[in-house]
Amino acid sequence: MSEESILTDEFLRQLINVGEADILVGVPTYNNAATIGHVVQTIRAGLLKYFPRERAVIVNADGGSRDQTPDLVRGASINDAQVSADIHALRTLHSISAQYPGEPATGTALRTILASAELLRASACAVVSPDSTTIEPDWIERLLRPVYQGTYDFVTPLYRRHKFDGLLIRNLVYPMTRAFYCKRVKEPYASEFAFSGQLGNHFLGQEIWTQEAGRTGTEISFTISAITGGYRLAQTFLGTKPHLDARSADLIAAMRQTVGALFWSLEPNFQLWSTHADSQNVPTLAPGQEVTLEPLRVNRKRLLGMFHSGVAELEPVLKQILSPPIVSELQRIATLGEDEFSYGDELWARTVYEFAASYHKSVISRDHIVQALAPLYRGRAFTFLVENRDSSGEEIEQNVENFCLTCERLKPSLVELWNGRK
Amino acid sequence: MREMIVNELSQATQELIREFARFLPRLMVMLIVVLVGWVIAYLVKWILRSILRLIKFDKLSEGAGAAQLLNKAALPSSTELVSRFAFWLAWLGFVLLGISALGILGMQEYVTRFFVFLPRLIVAVFFLFFGLLAASFFSRAALLWAVNTDMPSPRLLSSSVRILITIFTASAVFEELGLADSTMLLAFAIVMGAVMLGLAIAFGIGGQHLARRFLEARFAPEKKEGKEREDELSPL
């Protein structure tokens, strides 16, 4: 499908009315009526406050919402925003909204936004999640300014999170992306990010769109594409990561979007990741406090119980995916009680690498491989929760750093598994 | 008298020689058809084996659970088995063609029957393979779903899915082959009915609490509010 054909006639008509733009902010939506009004108002406020002279447009790519989300986007005006009265637009701030064809999917929404940016020749673009209830106008400035100035091509966020929030990111997605692609991007699966028009066009031209990774998990594929394409990366602190709703807490969906897309990316980029060794830092433009420590009520026992039952019930599946020593070790730790249980860094890293190699070799259905990792991740999450029960923010960061170094150290074992030498 | 016997013997011998002379070209045709058939069948086997190796058929059948069955029965790999099957099928076809060239009365009918049956046999083999593949895939999907949603007895659920699909596959295969149609249909109906009734009774009696939990979670989630609330951890 060409870039033009992904845009419906209605979308094209609205884009043609805009003409050209310097800055584009994309908001992918699907039934987000509860939050979208505030998000769009804040984006408008941010654009008017920090980019009053630039031609800016807000593009809402909607997946066919039935709760009047597009109407709320179109209706959100600066008058509703709680910003200072001295904000005046020097140019028209366009806000367009249209439904993209096909089923609701974040990948299709992102593709629509990229195609719009290409058509409008936008030099700096940002994508903002419709669930970002904690968004502030200065998020727009922090994300877009480095790209608009031409200093960087891709800006990812850093969030203030609870120390136990984003466990999958801390225990798998960040360390593994860093080990594979040698860039320390802490939020490789970002819900808010900014990119140059050049990078947007580069990603739009990738052959990802006919694959599953072009439908779900496209955000992490975008990050990987920016790294492998040699684009200039930066990170910027935004603020508190909004607590997501129950749908976002769906572990299997989260694993498909992140782990599935990450494993999938290894295939076309083998030459690159197999030859790179040490990771490099990514500049942080606006540092801030990243870990909060409020007490949380978490059912750790349930996590461990699901790990135990997963290892026992999935034995035939795990034997197809993992090597006998890893299966034996998992079965051994599955016999341990709550006090002695530990799913250590090295075993967890080796487990994930063997899953990645089995995914590459398609030993069983690839989606089943990703799903089979979920019970093991729960065991790892239990260990992380227990070991960091009393840890400070710095200690948590140090523990994550240690795990990242373990992943980097063990990376050659994945190359051996990949080439079938083990 | 002696002359008559010699005469008769001579006539019989000449008749036999004439018959043999008439039969010999047909025998030669049969031998040529069988020989050429062997070469063609061998080529079919070689080409099929190459294609199956190219598409990694062994891996596919491993996923279907067929490889494990073959290992247990000390049979060769599925690629080897399918290509050998194609060889024997093709060669048998040529042998029967050759036999029909002999013009033996009654054989024609058997040869025709074989060629009518051949497509059904091939379709039945396909049914069997893809049925086993589907049984393996869906039973594993059920197992993973049950484990990840913390359902009780995931393996029981997975085995039930596998058995149901296998029964369905077997009935489709037998129906395609035309073997004991009515018996298989009856047996299938009885087994399916028994399984469904058993599941309904098990869910109704054995799974009262599970059913209540499921229905409460589905239709009355507010009942949970009385309990001590836990914080949801977001994986992302």
Give B140's contacts in chain A (Cβ within 8 Å).
Answer: 317, 364-365, 368
Q: Does B225 touch chain A (CB under 8 A)?
A: no
Q: For residue A402, what pLDDT is reported?
A: 95
Asked if residues A236 and B228 have their Cβ atoms less than 8 Å apart, the reply is no
Closest A-chain CA to B142: A368
Domain A3-292 has CATH 3.90.550.10: yes
Give B233's contacts in chain A (Cβ within 8 Å).
Answer: 164-165, 167, 249, 296, 298, 381
Interface test mutation site (partner A, options B68, B71, B151, B233, max chain A beta carbons within 10 A): B233
Of B234, B129, B112, whose CA–CA distance to B176 is shortest?
B129
What is the pTM assigned to this prediction? 0.80
Q: Name residue, tokens 């830092």.
A: A281
Is B113 in a helix, a strand, or coil?
Answer: helix
Give B134's contacts in chain A (Cβ within 8 Å).
Answer: none
Domain spans of chain A? 3-292, 300-418
Give B155's contacts in chain A (Cβ within 8 Å).
Answer: 313
Comparing A50-54, A355-359, B108-112, the range with the smallest average pLDDT is B108-112
pLDDT in tens, A229-253: 999 999 999 988 876 654 456 899 9
Q: What is the mean pLDDT of residues B206-233?
A: 62
Q: Name residue, tokens 């508190």.
A: A240
Q: What is the mean pLDDT of residues A96-104?
A: 86
Q: What percent of chain A has pLDDT over 90?
A: 59
Q: Do A164 and B233 touch (CB under 8 A)?
A: yes
B227 band by pLDDT with thresholds 50, 70 and 90 = very low
Q: Pick the residue with more confidence: B41 or B76?
A: B41
Q: Do A309 and B147 touch (CB under 8 A)?
A: yes
Question: What is the nearest CA distance from B146 to chain A, expressed in angstroms?
Answer: 10
Q: Does A397 touch chain B (CB under 8 A)?
A: no
Closest A-chain CA to B59: A363
Q: What is the mean pLDDT of chain A?
A: 88
CA distance B82 to B68: 15
Q: Name residue, tokens 């769009």.
A: A40
Q: What is the mean pLDDT of residues A111-135?
A: 93
Interface test mutation site (partner B, options A133, A162, A165, max chain B beta carbons within 10 A): A165
Q: For residue B35, what pLDDT is reported?
A: 93
Of B137, B146, B229, the CB nearest to A365: B137
Q: Do A297 and B59 touch (CB under 8 A)?
A: no
Q: Do A166 and B234 touch (CB under 8 A)?
A: yes
Q: For residue A355, what pLDDT is reported?
A: 96
Of B137, B154, B236, the CB nearest to A166: B236
CA distance B28 to A53: 96
Asked if residues A5 and A204 have their Cβ atoms less than 8 Å apart, the reply is no
Burial profile A68-82: b = 16 or more Cβ within 10 angstroms, e = fewer: ebbebbeebeeeebe
Other C-beta atoms closer than 10 Å to the C-beta of B100 total 19
Q: Do B234 and A165 touch (CB under 8 A)?
A: yes
DSSP, res A24: E
Does residue A2 carry a pLDDT above 70? Answer: no
Does residue B207 carry a pLDDT above 70? Answer: no
Does residue A332 carry a pLDDT above 50? Answer: yes
Of A63, A55, A69, A71, whose CA–CA distance to A125 is shortest?
A55
Q: Does B142 touch chain A (CB under 8 A)?
A: no
Q: Do A297 and B63 touch (CB under 8 A)?
A: no
What beta strand segments (E) does A138-283 contain? 154-162, 193-196, 233-240
Of B230, B232, B235, the CB nearest to A254: B235
pLDDT in tens, B114-127: 888 888 888 888 88
Q: For residue A86, what pLDDT is reported?
A: 55
Does residue B231 carry a pLDDT above 80? Answer: no
Interface test mutation site (partner A, options B144, B157, B228, max chain A beta carbons within 10 A): B144
Q: Do A368 and B231 touch (CB under 8 A)?
A: no
Q: Do A249 and B233 touch (CB under 8 A)?
A: yes
Question: What is the nearest CA distance from A294 to chain B, expressed in angstroms?
Answer: 12
Other C-beta atoms closer than 10 Å to the C-beta of A231 total 17
Q: Pick the residue with more confidence: B62 or B57?
A: B57
Three-state SS string over A278-343 comes to: CCECCCECCCCCCEECCCCCCCHHHHHHHHHHHHHHCHHHHHHHCCHHHHHHHHHHCCCCCCCCCC
Q: Does B63 touch chain A (CB under 8 A)?
A: yes
Q: Do B147 and A168 touch (CB under 8 A)?
A: no
Domain spans of chain B? 25-104, 132-218
pLDDT in tens, A192-237: 999 999 999 999 988 888 887 788 889 999 999 999 999 999 999 9
Q: Does B135 touch chain A (CB under 8 A)?
A: no
Q: Does B232 touch chain A (CB under 8 A)?
A: yes
Residue B230's identity, in one-letter code, is E
